[in-house]
Structure 1
């Protein structure tokens, strides 16, 4: 008879994977386990996606002094409701929807009517429709004035867009989200999103036509 061999397998347990090496989907799944979200996993989600939330709220509410409070509120809502997210792979779009909804909730509450959009850098809307960059060699004072006037008019033109158009054009052109992601955020169909963006581009092009022609 050979003696029965026993082993203490506790020495062979695989150590847990550090949160920094987990994918976003894995972090979300970890947060959805247990009674409350895993603090370490959620902190890592904040670290990875904080800039994304800040960018959305900056473009939507550039003149609000309490934007930092809104960013914090986005994460409070995400922490409370992360268990409701059915598809962890769509965390970024879900987070964008929380930020966008929070902004419009605040906008309605404050009953603001002034422009809330700011563009701090030259951009391009679409592929060839509108060039925001104005190329020139050695701009003089008159050129600087014309450029500033153009951006001021562009800022007002975006602010004057209906809310649904404004939201879609910001999410598409300033945040670079895919049409499918925008549909998720706004709750609109893919066709509606594409139509809104096309109409918003057309309206901006019409408003800026004098500057583009010159």
Structure 2
């Protein structure tokens, strides 16, 4: 018998993928991770607001999910099922962290959040202006989304960033679809109000162009316009 062709995992239905994972097919597991990592990370971040914590929760949730994959019944999509596990794990982590923080604060111990420091730590070589602008915008958006109330933030991330349907979002969060729509609308209004002044301020400092770059451009334009070089400059 000739060797079987490699499976096209993207063509399989969720129940088939789950069955392959139960049989410990490494390629099936890798495929599920690849197509779900980003949206599941965002779901965790929407609750924890910390990248390292979200990454840790995602790993724990994956271990739990694959261990119980045989219980996947297909009543929702595999992505929705995984999202529910990640959210439950994130909420559990959040409750534990709050208890720990309350205990530490009772003892007069400061809890330091190193998240922003980690984000700002990077290469010693300054990135191009475009990369700087994109990073500034990313940080601005991340900060504003993080400041949304919990009930709005998770709905916003699941619907607008991860692209879950109203029904899937409602199922994951155990709330009515109408509540999903209401919370999303309120989240968008809050974001619009919060972003307006910051976006203007951020854009005024975007793509800095000064010093030697500015001077060189000025001279090139002057030449194109037919003016002689400034010999006294």
Q: TM-score, with normalisation over the residues of structure 1?
A: 0.61
2:10 equivalent to 1:25 = no
- Give the paired residue count: 172
Unaligned residue ranges in structure 1 (runs of 5+): 1-10, 121-139
Asked if 1 retains the 8 angstrom alpha-carbon contact of 2:159 and 2:166, the reply is yes
Asked if 2 retains the 8 angstrom alpha-carbon contact of 1:165 and 1:200, the reply is yes
2:39 equivalent to 1:56 = yes
Q: Tell me: CA distance 1:96–1:52, structure 2 relative to 1, closer, same or farther (3 Å).
A: farther
Structure holding more helix per residue = 2
Q: How does 1:82-101 map to 2 (within 5 A)?
A: 82-87=69-74, 90-101=77-88
Tell me how far 1:23 sits from its aligned partner.
0.9
Tell me how far 1:157 sits from its aligned partner.
2.2
Q: TM-score, with normalisation over the residues of structure 2?
A: 0.57
2:143 equivalent to 1:160 = no
Larger Rg: 2
Deviations 1:166-197 (A, max 9, x none): 11111112212222221121111111111111
2:193 is matched with 206
2:52 equivalent to 1:65 = yes
Q: Aligned-residue CA RMSD in angstroms?
A: 4.0
Unaligned residue ranges in structure 2 (runs of 5+): 102-110, 120-128, 202-233
Partner of residue 38 from structure 1, selected from 11, 18, 23: 23
For 1:201 and 1:166, the matched residues in 2 are separated by: 10
For 1:27 and 1:82, the matched residues in 2 are separated by: 11
